[in-house]
Amino acid sequence: MTASTYQISATEKKFISWHLFVAVTALSIGSLFGPLQAFEGAKIDLYQYLKPIIQSYYQGLTLHGVLNALVWTTFFITGFLTLTTIHGLQRPLKLPKLNYAGFGIMVAGLLITAVPILLNQASVLYTFYPPMKASPLFYLGLTLVVVGSWVEGWGFYLTYMDWRKANPGVRTPLMTFGGLITMVLWQFATLGVAAEILTQLLPWSLGWLPGVDPQFARTEFWFTGHPLVYFWLLPAYVSWYALLPKQAGGKLFSDSLARVAFWLFLVLSIPLGFHHQFVDPGVPPLWKYIHALLTYSVFFPSMMTAFTVIASLEYSARQRGGKGMLGWIRALPWGDPSVASQLLAGILFFFGGIGGITNASYNINLVIHNTTWVPGHFHLTVASAVTLSFMGISYWLVPYLTGKKLWKPQWAVIQAWLWFVGMIIFSNGMHTLGLLGAPRRTPLGIAPYVPDAWNGRLIQDAVGGAILLVAAYLYVVILAVTAFSKNAEKADVQVPQAEAMQDPAASPAWLDRWAPWLAATILLIVIAYGPQLVAQISTIQLTSPGFIIR
C-alpha cells in the first residue's frame, strides 16, 4: 500500500463519528450547568426550577465538570487520534474489533457513571476528592471509561507496530507521532487514578474498607490530574502543528522542533503533580519545591510551540500577501471557521499559560489556591485552548466524515468569536474575583452578604457565562444540522495535512526512537514521586469515613 492511496473507509468514518457524537452530546448537556453556577453567583438561582431532576449546586457542578472536562475531551480525543493514526500511517486499524471493544467499554463506563450522578449519589465534582464519597457505580464507570480508552490506545500501538515493520527507518508522520505520544502519556498518567480507585475508593465505597486516606488519595489523583491537562492539550497541539499550517495556506516551520516538544511533554508532564498540593500539609516542602521546579520546565515545550506555530502562521500569512511586523496577522484566513477558532484558542492560551506559570509559584499559589482564579485559569486552557481548538477541528472533521458541507460557515466564525469574547469576560471576572478572595466550588449567591467588590465581578461572570452558553449551543446546532440534514450540499473534504518546510526525513533519527524517551519518563517519575510514594504508603491510614454530599 503506497503512502497516498489509502482511502479511509465508510466504516472507519462512522466509527470516528460515534466518538464525536458522544463527545458533543456530553458537551451539550454539560454546558448547561456551567452558566447555572455563574447565574447562581449573580443571585439568579435557576437550580430551583430544575428540581427534582437536579438537586443541588454540587450535583450541577459535578455534571458540568465530568461531562465537559472528562467526557467531551476523552471521547473527542480518542476519535481524533483514531483519525491521526489511520490517516497519518495511511493504513487501516490493525485490529478494528479491539478498537470497537475499547469504544464500547468507554460508552458502557459513561452510562454506568451517569446513573449515580443523575440520582445525586455522586455529587463529588470531577476531582472526586475523598472523603466525599460516591456510589461505587461512579468509580466503576470512570474506571471503565479509562480502561476503554487504553484498549483503543493498544489498537493504535498495534497499527503503528505493523506500519513500522513495513517502513523501517521512515520517520513517523507527525500527526501520528503526536497522537501516539498523547496516548502513551495518558496511559502512564492514569496509573495514579487507577491505583486510587482500585485500592481505595472503590473498595471503600463498596464497604470493604473501613475508610480511606484522603492525603494519599490526593497524591494518587494528582499523579494523573496534572498530566491529564496535557492529554487534553496535546491533540490541539497535533492540530496546530500538523494541520493548521496547511489550513492557513503555508507550511510547518520546523518538524524537528515539533517532535522535541512532544517528547518533552511525555517526559515532563507527570512528575509535577504536587503543584496541586502546595497547601497539603502531608507533602514535605522539599518535594513541593522539586515539583514547582519541574513545572517551570514543562513551560518550555509550550513556549516552543508558541514560537513554531506562530512562525508557521507568519510564513502562511506572508505567502498570502501579508505584510508588516504584525500586519501579516490580518492576512490569515480568518473567514475559515476552523482556522479562526484555532487562532482564537491560541490567543486565549497565552493568558491561560501565563496564569499557569503564576499558579506554579509557591508564593502566589498561596493567594489563589481554592479561589475562583483557578477555574478562571482552566477555562482559558481546557475550555479555550483545547475546547475551542476541538470546535475548530470539528468544522472540517464533520464535513470530512459525513461528506456534507458545513452548515452556515459564517455562523461558525461568529460562534468562535462569541466563545472568545464570552471567555474573556468570564475568565477575567473569575481571575479578579479569585484575587478578591472568592472561593471556588462554592455557591456564592446564597451568602447573605458578600464583599461589595465581588458583586460587579459576579455579574460579569454571569454575562460571560450566558454568552458562552449561546456559543456552545450555536456550535452544537451547526454540527447537528450539518450531520443530520438530508439535503445538504456534498463536500469533498480532505484531511488538511501540513507539509514541513524541512523534509521530516532530515529530522534526527533519535527523535523517532521510543526507548530513550520512555526510559527518561520512567526515571523522572521514579525520582520525583518514588520517595514520597514510599513515605506516604508506609504511613497510610485508611481511617477516614465517607461524607455524602447532597
Please list the active-site residues. 226, 230, 377-379, 440-441
In terms of CB distance, is 232 or 529 closer to ligand HAS? 232
Phi-psi region of 324 (alpha: psi -120 to 50; beta: other; left: phi over 0): left
CB of residue 339 vs ligand HAS: minimum separation in angstroms? 10
Choosing from 329, 470, 491, 520, the residue that interacts with ligand HAS (CB under 6 A) is 329
- Interface with ligand HAS includes 35 (CB under 6 A)? no
In terms of CB distance, is 236 or 397 closer to ligand HAS? 236
CB of residue 182 vs ligand HAS: minimum separation in angstroms? 12
- Interface with ligand HAS includes 19 (CB under 6 A)? no
- Give the binding range for Cu ion (CB under 5 A) out of 165-173, 220-228, 260-268, 525-533: 220-228
What distance in Å separates the CA atoms of residue 22 and residue 174, rounded to the nearest whole number? 27
- Which contacts of 122-126 are long-range, i.e. CB under 8 A and separated by 24 or more positions? 122/62, 123/55, 123/56, 123/58, 123/59, 123/61, 123/62, 123/549, 123/550, 124/62, 124/549, 125/58, 125/61, 125/62, 125/65, 125/441, 126/62, 126/65, 126/66, 126/69, 126/70
Q: Is 511:66 a contact under the CB 8 Å cutoff?
A: no
CB of residue 276 vs Cu ion: minimum separation in angstroms? 5
Task: Single out the residue of 346, 483, 353 nearest to residue 416, CA to CA.
Answer: 346
What distance in Å separates the CA atoms of residue 122 and residue 113, rounded to the nearest whole number? 9
CB of residue 471 vs Cu ion: minimum separation in angstroms? 26
C-alpha to C-alpha distances, 312 to 242, 250, 345, nearest whole angstrom: 10, 7, 16
> DSSP letters along 430-477, please?
HHHHHHTT-BSSS--TT-S---HHHHHHHHHHHHHHHHHHHHHHHHHH
- Give the binding range for ligand HAS (CB under 6 A) out of 156-164, 306-314, 472-480, 511-519: 306-314
- Interface with ligand HAS includes 364 (CB under 6 A)? no
What distance in Å separates the CA atoms of residue 37 and residue 439, rounded to the nearest whole number? 13
CB of residue 487 vs ligand HAS: minimum separation in angstroms? 36
Number of residues that bind ligand HAS (CB under 6 A): 37
CB of residue 51 vs ligand HAS: minimum separation in angstroms? 27
- Interface with Cu ion includes 226 (CB under 5 A)? yes
- Interface with ligand HAS includes 299 (CB under 6 A)? yes
Footprint (CB under 6 A) of ligand HAS, residues 483-522: none
Return the half-sphere exposure (C-beta side, CA atoms, 13 A cut-off) of residue 303: 8
- Interface with ligand HAS includes 331 (CB under 6 A)? no
- Interface with ligand HAS includes 283 (CB under 6 A)? no
Question: What cell numbers appear for 550 in the block?
Answer: 447532597
Binding partner of residue 369 among Cu ion, ligand HAS, none, CB cut-off 5 to 8 Å per kind = ligand HAS
- Interface with ligand HAS includes 348 (CB under 6 A)? no
- Give the binding range for ligand HAS (CB under 6 A) out of 100-108, 155-163, 226-234, 427-435: 226-234
Task: Single out the residue of 322, 272, 170, 241 nearest to residue 532, CA to CA.
Answer: 272
Q: Is 63:54 a contact under the CB 8 Å cutoff?
A: yes
Number of residues that bind Cu ion (CB under 5 A): 1
Task: Single out the residue of 81, 82, 78, 75 nearest to residue 96, CA to CA.
Answer: 82
Choosing from 349, 390, 407, 426, the residue that interacts with ligand HAS (CB under 6 A) is 349
The residue ranges that bind ligand HAS (CB under 6 A) are 127, 229, 232-233, 240, 275-276, 295, 298-299, 302-303, 305-306, 309-310, 313, 329, 343, 346-347, 349-350, 353, 356-357, 359-360, 365, 369, 374, 377-378, 381-382, 385-386
The residue ranges that bind Cu ion (CB under 5 A) are 226
